[in-house]
Amino acid sequence: MISYDYHQPQSLEEAFQLKQTIQGSLYISGGTDVMVRIKNREIHPRALISLRSIPKLSGVENGNVIRIGAMTTITDLIRDPVLCEHYPILIQAARKLGSVQIRNVATVGGNLCNCSPAADLAPPLLVLGAKVRLQGGRKSRDVPIDKFFQGPGESCLASDEIMTDVLIGSPEQNPKTIFLKKGRVKMDLAIASVAVLIETEGDRCLTARIAAGSVAPVPLRLSQVESLLEGARFSPKLLSDIQQLSSKSVSPITDVRSTKEYRRHIVGALIKRALEKLMGWSEA
């Protein structure tokens, strides 16, 4: 029989105190991943400290910097009108995360803190240049999201820290963005996913940010691909070169969902398709 204590603090201060005093305790948000790992006996926490009832960790605040509370559910993320208008790439990714039932429970912070290479929200947040706010006791720090992920299941979170917010700066321009995901079936984890943000002037690319998931130990920006694209004029030859370089820029593995060879192929194809759609060359 699996047994553990369950605590539901009402403030960050209470949560920090519980974590400090209960050795072997674990913070939990939506629990969609943690409870599965407990059931499979992959982890054995002495106690679970739920962050559900801490009001300041939920909700979206709009301003010069968008603040998304780490305990905001995926459903609430999708329903926010400002995010839908100004950050559609984040909403596209959120809509592809699990089922309706999962989205009603799963949280933004939970999706990121699991540090899965397949985390759906990671690629769009990477191209949006997001930061995460980490707090431990009275100290907090803001970390660029590309520095947050350290490896599969590993982050830069200290043992006494909680992710409290995701921070996104207001876009200065009106970039074109898209998120594409390939899974075995609907609601499956990604075999590969890509997020693309570009700013253009005619047929020339001024700015490019491209990120991929499920094709490396962590979600990552493809800086070489971005460099090839920035300043160039769009053409079938350029997109073919982008596709080839994208496939070479990742380091996927073979697992139960896919082979590394197929992941290399599909990430290049997805990035090429994303650019075609953003330029209006393809509707499919």
Q: Where are the domains of the chain?
A: 5-50, 58-169, 176-278
Residue type, 169: G
CB-CB contact of 183 with 170 (8 Å): no
- The answer to whether the 5-50 and 58-169 domains have the same CATH topology is no
pTM for the structure as a whole: 0.93
Topology given in CATH for the domain delimited by 58-169: 3.30.465
CB-CB contact of 82 with 62 (8 Å): yes
Are β-strands 47-50 and 25-28 bridged in parallel, bridged antiparallel, or unpaired?
parallel
pLDDT at 283: 62
Topology given in CATH for the domain delimited by 176-278: Enolase-like; domain 1 (3.30.390)
CATH class, 5-50 region: alpha beta
Q: Which two tokens stand for residue 19?
A: 């974590």
Environment class of 195 (CB within 10 Å of its CB; exposed 0-12, middle 13-18, buried 19+): buried
pLDDT by residue for the chain (284 residues), tens only, comes to 578 899 999 999 999 999 999 998 988 887 777 888 888 888 888 899 999 899 999 999 998 899 999 999 999 999 999 999 999 999 999 999 989 999 999 999 999 998 999 999 999 999 999 999 999 988 999 999 999 999 998 999 998 899 999 999 987 678 999 999 998 877 788 999 999 999 999 999 999 999 999 999 999 999 999 999 999 999 999 999 999 999 999 999 999 889 999 999 999 999 999 999 999 987 65
- Three-state secondary structure along 191-228? EEEEEEEEEEECCEEEEEEEEEECCCCCCEECHHHHHH
Q: From CA 72, how far away is CA 176, in angstroms rounded?
A: 26
CB-CB contact of 90 with 120 (8 Å): no
pLDDT at 1: 56
